[in-house]
Each structure stands twice: as C-alpha cells, then as structure tokens.
Amino acid sequence: MLDMSPLGGRSHVPRLGDPAGVATAPVERARVRHLRPAGVVVAAALAAACFLAFDLAEALISAFGCAVLVAVSVTDLERRIIPNRIVLPATALVLVAQTIRDPSVEWVLAALAAGGALFVAALVYPAGMGMGDVKLAAFLGALLGWDVIVAFFVAMVASLVPALVILARHGRAGRKMGIPFAPFLALGGVVALFAGDALLDWYLEL
C-alpha cells in the first residue's frame, strides 16, 4: 500500500515473485543503529570527493545532494520511510540551484521524467513501489539531469544482488521477503554523479 501521509513516503523494492523484482519487509532497528554514524562518515567522504571533482558551484550542489542521499538511505533502512521533510525541499532547492548554475530545461524535465517513471510503476503495482521512491527519483532527476538514466540502471542491477541471495537462502519463502530500495537509488545516484557522463558516452559509442 502506498503511504500518502504528509510525513513521508514508503520505500519499496518490487516483490521477488513478481515481474518487477523484490519486495519489502521490516528492518529491525537494533540491527541498523550503527548506520547514523556511518552515514555521517560516508556523507563527509562524498562531500570531499565532490570538491575534488567539480568546480565550486557544482561541488556545493553535489555535496548537498550526496548528503540528502545518505540521509534518506539511513531513514529508509531504519524505518522504511523516505521523509517528505527531507526530499521535497531538497528537490526544490537542487532544481533551482542547478537551473541557476546551468540554465536549461534539462533539470526540470529529468525530474519530471524520473519521478513520472516510478509513479507509473507505483500505479501499476503499488505493493512493489512506494511514493517515497517516486519522490526520491524526482530528486535524482533534478540533481543529475539525464544522467539519472545511469542511476536507475545501477539501482536496478544492484538490487538484484540481495534479491538473488534471499532467493538462494530461503527459496520460495524468499519471494515474500525484501529490502528497502532507497539505498540502491542512492548508490545509483552517486555513481551517476561521478561517472554518469562517461558511462553514457561509452554506451552510446557501442
């Protein structure tokens, strides 16, 4: 069921037994208490990488984007929620900042396309895709532009790994087990941020 509350959107990975992939299941808080300090370290490392890789304006936007991705990954793993109070203001801020930095309709179009793609998936199969994932996809589109395609591809491929492990360990019962999807979208976003252009160019030259 989709969470349409003002506090946040649910994150889902499609069910293992269905065409789209893998499902969601509660994550015990006691097993993820270490995530917050680890998240701070990861966010700091990514911010440093942004300032090494990009000019000042792009680095500031990218570092902020990485911090958001880390934050929603932690909350998704802890409570299976991608908070609106994080992702919605962040999307608006990044969209404005990117448009000022590089005036183009790419940012808004990519945000609409990315969010729209997962929104359609949520409508078609609400048990397999949460509104939190939809909003996070829109944020990635605003941050990455058309490189969000790379983020989606990496997220889908990466999510297959734990899905296959669950199936191998639990067999048919594993079809009803699952994992949050936001960390995979975040991973795809980071890969696309630093290597999206190169990967797209490589693919188009094949």
**Which whole number is the average pLDDT over 134-154?**
97
Q: What pLDDT does residue 106 have?
A: 97
Q: Taking the CA of residue 78 as centre, how many other CA atoms within 13 Å lie in the half-sphere pointing to its CB?
A: 14
Our count of domains for the chain comes to 1
Instruction: Let me know if residue 1 belongs to a domain.
Output: no
Q: What is the DSSP letter of 146?
A: G
Please, which pLDDT band fits residue 3 given cuts at 50, 70 and 90?
very low
Tens of pLDDT, residue by residue over 65-124, are 999 999 999 999 988 899 999 999 999 999 999 999 999 999 999 999 999 999 999 898
Please, which pLDDT band fits residue 18 given cuts at 50, 70 and 90?
very low
Nearest-angstrom CA–CA distance, 45 and 65: 13
**Which whole number is the average pLDDT over 139-163?**
93
Instruction: Let me know if residue 2 belongs to a domain.
Output: no
Residue 99 lies in domain: 9-204
